[in-house]
């Protein structure tokens, strides 16, 4: 069974944990744009060198570079039967590009899972994580701002996928196993 899934949710909702668990359960790679960027930069690929120039200057990596990196990753053998995307697409233009990439292979996204979580609970999680990891820059104000930015940027994407009948909202709070089961039951 192929699975082409996008996983979205606010920082602290447990996307990384659930992506790893779903990857194993579904037998498809979990593909994080952060991991793709790091791998390309570390491997000193042409795209990695280009992205690094923008990142070193503190600038947003243009969609063309991000899209190329994602297209390259989706073309790898382990993604032939499916994948789980985390962190992409982030813009409406990236949604359109992903649609084009997949249509060229006569494929399409099958599910978009949005992990939802109470804002105060997410703030508490992120504050605890910041303390554990020694990230003094993650104050409550900074975290709440990141959540506001996430909401603003994600709303257009959730609207697109909801209009296509692909969006599945899953409560991201509770026991890890329960959340995984909730997700799997919505996509099977």
Q: What is the pLDDT of residue 2?
A: 66
Give pTM, 2 decimals.
Answer: 0.89
SS3 175: coil
Give the separation between CA 162 and CA 133, rounded to whole angstroms.
Answer: 36
Q: Residues marked as binding?
A: 12-17, 33, 38, 59-61, 87-90, 94, 129, 135, 146, 174
Q: Residues marked as binding for AMP?
A: 33, 38, 59-61, 87-90, 94, 135, 146
Q: Mean pLDDT across the stretch 155-169?
A: 96
Long-range CB contacts (< 8 A, 24+ apart) of 61-69?
61/37, 63/91, 63/93, 63/94, 63/97, 66/33, 66/94, 67/94, 67/97, 67/98, 67/101, 69/33, 69/36, 69/37, 69/40
How far lies 63's CA from each of 47, 116, 169, in Å?
Answer: 12, 26, 26
* CATH number of the domain enclosing 89: 3.40.50.300
Selecting among 107, 125, 129, 168, the annotated active-site residue is: 129
Show the domain range for 58.
3-187
Residues 20-71 have pLDDT tens digits of: 999 999 999 999 988 898 899 999 999 999 988 988 887 878 899 999 999 9
Q: In which band, very low, low, confident or very high, does the pLDDT at 167 lie, cut at 50, 70 and 90?
A: very high
Selecting among 4, 15, 21, 73, the annotated active-site residue is: 15
Give the number of domains in the chain.
1
How long, in residues, is the chain? 188
pLDDT at 162 over 60: yes
């Amino acid at each position: 069974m192929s699975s082409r899934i996008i996983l979205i949710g606010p920082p602290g909702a447990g996307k990384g944990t659930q992506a790893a668990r779903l990857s194993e359960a579904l037998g498809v790679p979990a593909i994080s744009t952060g991991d793709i960027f790091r791998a390309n930069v570390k491997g000193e690929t042409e795209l990695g060198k280009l992205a690094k120039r923008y990142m070193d200057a503190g600038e947003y990596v243009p969609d063309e570079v991000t899209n190329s990196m994602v297209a390259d990753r989706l073309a790898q053998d382990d993604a032939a039967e499916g994948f789980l995307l985390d962190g992409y697409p982030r813009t409406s233009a990236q949604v359109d590009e992903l649609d084009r990439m997949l249509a060229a292979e006569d494929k399409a996204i099958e599910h978009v899972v949005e992990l939802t979580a109470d804002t105060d609970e997410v703030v508490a999680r992120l504050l605890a994580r910041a303390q554990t990891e020694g990230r003094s820059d993650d104050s409550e104000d900074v975290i709440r701002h990141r959540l506001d930015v996430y909401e603003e940027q994600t709303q257009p994407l959730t609207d697109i996928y909801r209009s296509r009948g692909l969006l599945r909202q899953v409560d991201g709070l509770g026991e890890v196993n329960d959340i995984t089961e909730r997700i799997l039951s919505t996509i099977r």
